[in-house]
Amino acid sequence: MSCYVYILASRPGGALYVGVTNDLVRRVYEHREGVVAGHTRTYSIKHLVHFEIFESIRDALQREKNIKHWPRAYKTRLIAESNPTWRDLYDEITS
């Protein structure tokens, strides 16, 4: 079973959220629709701007923990390296 570490943004350079899930499409959909109360709904963080795939939940959780502890500049650099225009990747994972 694949696991995913993902980063959502409110807009390019905006508020960020880092999460982990075993169903990326479902989880991003939940964020986009505001199903779950919290940081993403409060700050309208809905755009999938980065994700990584892992075979082990343990590896995914460790990566999420590492990224969450990084300074903001490291997170924005990670996004810019794989997605320089900060486009929303949701349509790409659902097609």
Domain residue ranges in the chain: 3-94
- Determine the distance from the C-alpha atom of residue 29 to the mean position of all C-alpha atoms in its chain, rounded to a whole number: 12
- If pLDDT is split at 50, 70 and 90, which confidence band does 47 have? very high
What is the reported pTM?
0.96
pLDDT exceeds 90 at position 36: no
- Rounded Cα distance between 77 and 28, Å, is 21
The per-residue pLDDT for range 57-95, each reduced to its tens digit, is: 999 999 999 999 999 999 999 999 999 999 999 999 998
Its CATH architecture, for the domain 3-94, is 3-Layer(aba) Sandwich (3.40)
